[in-house]
Each structure stands twice: as structure tokens, then as C-alpha cells.
Amino acid sequence: MIDLICGARPNFMKVDPIIRSLSEEVRLVHTGQHYDYSMSGSFFDQLGLPKPDINLGVGSSSITVQTADIMKAYEPVFVQGKPDAVVVVGDVNSTLACVLTAVRYGTPTVHVEAGLRSFDRTMPEEINRLLTDQISDLLLITSSEARQNLLREGRPDDAVVMVGNPMIDTLLRLLPGTERIQVPEEKFGLVTLHRPGNVDNRELLGRILDSLGALAPMHLVFPAHPRTLKNIRNWDLQNRVPSNLKMVKPMDYLSFIRHQQKAEVVITDSGGVQEETSVMGVPCVTVRPNTERPVTCTAGTNVLCPDPLEIPEAVRIQIQKRPDTPPVIPMWDGKAGARIALEIERILK
């Protein structure tokens, strides 16, 4: 039996193609890191994922407390189930917590989406990635630069296998079924902001809102992350929210990818969105000084924009550069799940 861990919204799209491809018995463990329906439950319904076999229900707290709570909740479940391997995806707190638990018992561990590096250790996700990769047995990567990162950190070459991007499997499977979902009739841009470096700084968040206003008359749709919305209210920034920015509730997965597909441009600080827009050929402006997904800049449709004041010009250039056809990124072909399953089954043998 394999324990497959998911805990936060980005994980669900990655575990789905793995579950569909594995012939081994799978126990789906949901840590409850994202715990409300809009951030978690709706994704299981839309992806057609089986309901989790176990929900640890840890809920929200600080990074340290949440990581510790996941380990405390997962250990008795792990001991009782005695899985033959533990598979984690991505870089959330659940990823590190469950790998730490498994290695204490000498159980083989697999990290899907290994080797991604922003080289910014102020990001909690970067610490999760670094530590998870140091203790995992099998490192499955989505792009070639990840191998160099892992080898530079002392991981053996035979532990690293290129499999492609499982999140793209889910995107390519479900995108054709979103055509009936309504999007604005006029041309629009899509905005997502949630990273602490952007939204937990009052001055920076205000400058970003001002720059979004400078994009008028372009209409912008902003499915506001609860964290971002809370800070806008607490810091009394409502008067900085421009008239061309329509703030809406977080979207379910199908609505969100449909809006991405039809947008003139996507302005984001999300890692997964950089990947999805590249595959769809949609211009993307990432409001960050770095990215752990550089392939989206070199082979995709993404550009970094560390200075909020430069957002309008970056948007103009990206729209102008929009490709006639989406770029092709190696192994982002909808078949990563099958390759991942083969590698997991190989390590078990």
C-alpha cells in the first residue's frame, strides 16, 4: 500500500493523475491544511478524485505549529497503516511533515516535483523543498534544471528521474470541458496574489493595487485569496482598490482555468499559474523577484516583475509578445502521471 499525501489546493491537481495511473493500492491522506470547501472540497468533486481515505483535519495555524500538528496527526495513522512507501507532491507544509514522519521509520519516500529552487530562503516553500529533497529516496522532476539543482546539493544522479509535470495532465484532461463556463465578454486580465512577500506588506500591497489601476481601461478579474482580502480590509486599503479591478470570491478549479485560458494576460505570484499559462500560451506577469519555475520564462510565456511600478509596462510587452501557438515544454504532455506511477512501482520492487 502507498500513502499519497495531499494537503493544500495545489496538491490536488498533482495527485489526481498519479492515482489514476497507479496499479498499487493507494491510501489518500488529506492533511486538512486547506480545510474549507472552496479551497479543498470542490477540487475533489471537479477532478473526480476519490474522497480521502483519511482526513487529518489539522486546519490553519503558524508554519511551525501546522507542520508539527501534521506530524503528530500523521504518525499514528502511518504506524497503523504501515505503508510500503509515502509519496508527497509540491512544497507545502504537509509535504515536509509527512516525509519527516516516514523517514523516521525507514519507509521509502518519493517527492514529486523535486528540485525546484527560487534560491530565496525567506520563502517557506523553499525551505520545505530543500529539506524534503534531502531526505527523500526518489526525486521525480518536472524540468531539466531541477536535476542540476539536486546534483549540486549532493543528491545522487540515479535518485533523480525526469517525469514531467502532473499538474499539466489535469489541466489538459479537464480544460476541454470548461467551454460553457461564463467569462467576461470584454477583454480582461486575471489577477491572483497570495504570497506573504506581496500581501503581508501594507506598502507593497498598496503599490500593487495602484499599478493594477494604471492598467485601466483594461478590466481585471481578481479572485481574492482570503489572506489578501483580510489584509486589504485590516489596513483600510479599500480606497486603493481601483475601479477596473473586480474582486470576486476564490474560483473553483474549472472556472479558474477557463478564466486563465480566455484572459489577455495573467498577473500572479503563484507557481502553478506560471506553468498553466505557459502551456496555454497565455501571457503571464509574475510579481516576484524570482521563480522556482524558470522554464516558464525561458520556454514559456512568463516574465518576472519584481517592481510593482513596472507591472503596466510588463503587461503591455507580454501581450504584444503573445505566441500564435502555445510553446512546447518537454514532457508537459499529459502523460506525467503514467511515468510517475512506473517509477513508484519500480522503487517498491
pLDDT computed for residue 9 by the predictor: 82
What is the model's pLDDT at position 36?
58
What is the reported pLDDT for 113?
98
Helices marked H in the chain — which ranges?
A: 9-21, 42-47, 63-81, 93-104, 124-135, 144-152, 166-174, 196-199, 202-213, 226-234, 253-262, 271-280, 295-298, 311-320, 336-348
Residues 56 and 32: beta-carbon distance below 8 Å: yes
Residue 18 exposure: Cα atoms within 13 Å on the Cβ side? 32
Sorted by where each begins, the domain ranges of the chain are 2-165+333-348, 176-320
Q: How far is CA 344 from CA 6, 113, 255, 300, in A?
A: 17, 14, 32, 29
Q: Is the dihedral of CA 265, 176, 88, 296 positive or negative?
A: negative
More confident residue, 53 or 41: 53
Considering the domain 2-165+333-348 in this protein, what is its CATH number? 3.40.50.2000
Helices and strands of the chain, counted as H and E runs: 15, 13
Distance CA 334, CA 189 (A): 26
Is the per-residue pLDDT at 2 higher than 70?
Answer: yes
Asked whether the domain spanning 176-320 has the same topology as the one spanning 2-165+333-348, the reply is yes
**Residues annotated as part of the active site:** 194
- Please give the share of the chain, as a percent, with pLDDT higher than 70: 98
User: CA-CA distance, 15 to 95, in Å (whole number)?
Assistant: 12
Residues 79-94 as b or e (16 or more Cβ within 10 Å = b): eeeebebbbbbbbbbb
Fold exhibited by the domain 176-320: Rossmann fold (3.40.50)
Work out the pLDDT band at 34, boundaries 50, 70, 90: low
The conformation of residue 177, written as its DSSP 8-state character, comes to G
Average pLDDT of 159-171? 98
Buried/exposed 320-340: b ≥16 CB within 10 Å, e otherwise: eeeeeeebebebbebbbbbbb
Percent of the chain with pLDDT over 90: 87
DSSP 8-state assignment for residue 249 = P
Q: Is the pLDDT of residue 56 over 70?
A: yes
Alpha carbons 184 and 177: distance in angstroms, whole number: 18
Model pTM score: 0.94
Give the mean model confidence (pLDDT) for residues 299-320. 97
Q: Give dist(CA 187, CA 215) in Å, integer.
A: 12
CB 265 within 8 A of CB 282: yes
What pairs with residue 246 in β-bridges?
Answer: 221
Give the pLDDT band of residue 196 (cuts 50, 70, 90). Answer: confident
Q: 70-91: per-residue pLDDT in tens? A: 999 999 999 999 999 999 999 9
